[in-house]
């Protein structure tokens, strides 16, 4: 299936995966282009599980197609015009498992957490002026030390010195560099670009509004789009404006069905992003960690 046919027949899915890949790995080129939007599974821990088990909606029940399309268009427009939003996503990609939460605005202010597996876990702050700060977890630093120890005492001692400087501190990255030297998605904090890549549904697309149900501790209206064994469900607020609160993409059938799932949570619409430079005592310039190599692997062993 090429990108054009995917976009025409599966707008909700294409929009959801555009947001997911753009947030987690910064791959926006396939959204609204000729390239195919793909995914390889993953789940995200829902921020509020209260009420999620009491899923009052029957996914096999018929729904309102006219209302589904109307709500889908309105919810996407609310996303496109929001000043800020928090997007949480966990998925498996070619780079491995990634779990990211970003709270971003349209001025490139951004805060978040990331988990790309061993040695690559932490949080970060990006400020509109281009300043970037990344802090690795103690566990990630311990894993870096463990890897270094396998390479011999000389490397182990050098890496221990670096991790000691970084422990509990934000690494201050130089402005204008293309990489943070870690898995932190500091280059993905462009809400304008992220939402600007989402297209519009074709006239013949079928998007169904299903009965109100309970998820994320609140009432939501599921908007469903199903084709060729795949179902995309976008959960929008059932009261007030229909803001998107969650997304699920599922592929049924086959022995690997459980792996073909992608879930996303969205929240904190128009809430200010608390992107403030850490206190000087909580930062260390990256040049102290690895002099002369600001864009390389910070703790290469």
Q: From CA 20, how far away is CA 39, in angstroms rounded?
A: 9
Helix axis angle for 138-149 and 153-166, nearest 10°, is 170
Q: Name residue, tokens 């908007």.
A: 223
- pLDDT for 81: 93
C-alpha count within 13 angstroms, C-beta hemisphere, residue 211:
8
Q: pLDDT digit of tens for each residue in the chain (301 aa)?
A: 334 344 444 788 888 877 877 776 554 333 543 334 344 444 444 333 334 444 444 443 456 888 998 999 999 999 999 999 999 987 765 556 678 899 999 998 999 998 888 888 999 999 999 899 999 999 999 999 999 999 999 989 989 999 999 999 999 987 765 444 456 777 778 888 888 877 777 777 789 999 999 999 999 999 998 877 788 899 999 999 999 999 988 765 543 334 456 788 999 999 999 999 999 999 999 888 876 554 445 666 5
Residue found by looking up tokens 């589904």 in the block: 68
- DSSP annotation of 64: B
Token representation of residue 286: 């990256």
| pLDDT value at residue 30 | 39
């Amino acid at each position: 299936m090429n990108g054009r046919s995917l976009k025409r027949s599966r707008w909700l899915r294409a929009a959801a995966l555009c947001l997911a890949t753009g947030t987690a790995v910064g791959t926006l080129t396939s959204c609204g282009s000729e390239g195919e939007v793909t995914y390889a599974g993953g789940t995200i821990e829902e921020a509020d599980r209260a009420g999620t088990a009491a899923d009052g909606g029957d996914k096999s029940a018929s729904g309102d197609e006219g209302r589904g399309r109307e709500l889908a268009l309105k919810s996407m427009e609310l996303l496109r015009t929001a000043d800020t939003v928090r997007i949480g996503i966990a998925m498996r990609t070619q780079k491995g498992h990634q779990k990211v939460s970003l709270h971003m605005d349209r001025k490139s202010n951004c805060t978040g957490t990331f988990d790309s597996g061993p040695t690559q876990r932490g949080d970060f702050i990006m400020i509109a002026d281009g300043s970037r700060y990344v802090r690795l977890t103690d566990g990630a630093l311990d894993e870096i030390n463990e890897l270094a120890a396998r390479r011999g005492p000389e490397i182990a001692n050098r890496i221990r010195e670096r991790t000691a400087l970084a422990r509990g501190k934000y690494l201050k990255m130089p402005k204008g560099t293309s990489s943070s030297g870690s898995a932190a998605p500091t280059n993905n904090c462009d809400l304008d670009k992220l939402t600007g890549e989402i297209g519009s549904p074709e006239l013949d697309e079928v998007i169904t509004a299903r009965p109100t149900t309970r998820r994320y501790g609140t009432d939501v209206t599921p908007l469903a789009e199903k084709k060729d064994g795949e179902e995309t469900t976008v959960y929008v607020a059932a009261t007030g404006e229909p803001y998107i609160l969650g997304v699920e993409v599922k592929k049924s059938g086959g022995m690997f069905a459980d792996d073909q799932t992608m879930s996303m949570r969205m929240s904190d619409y128009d809430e200010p992003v608390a992107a403030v430079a850490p206190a000087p005592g909580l930062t260390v310039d990256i040049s102290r960690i690895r002099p002369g190599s600001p864009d390389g692997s910070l703790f290469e062993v």
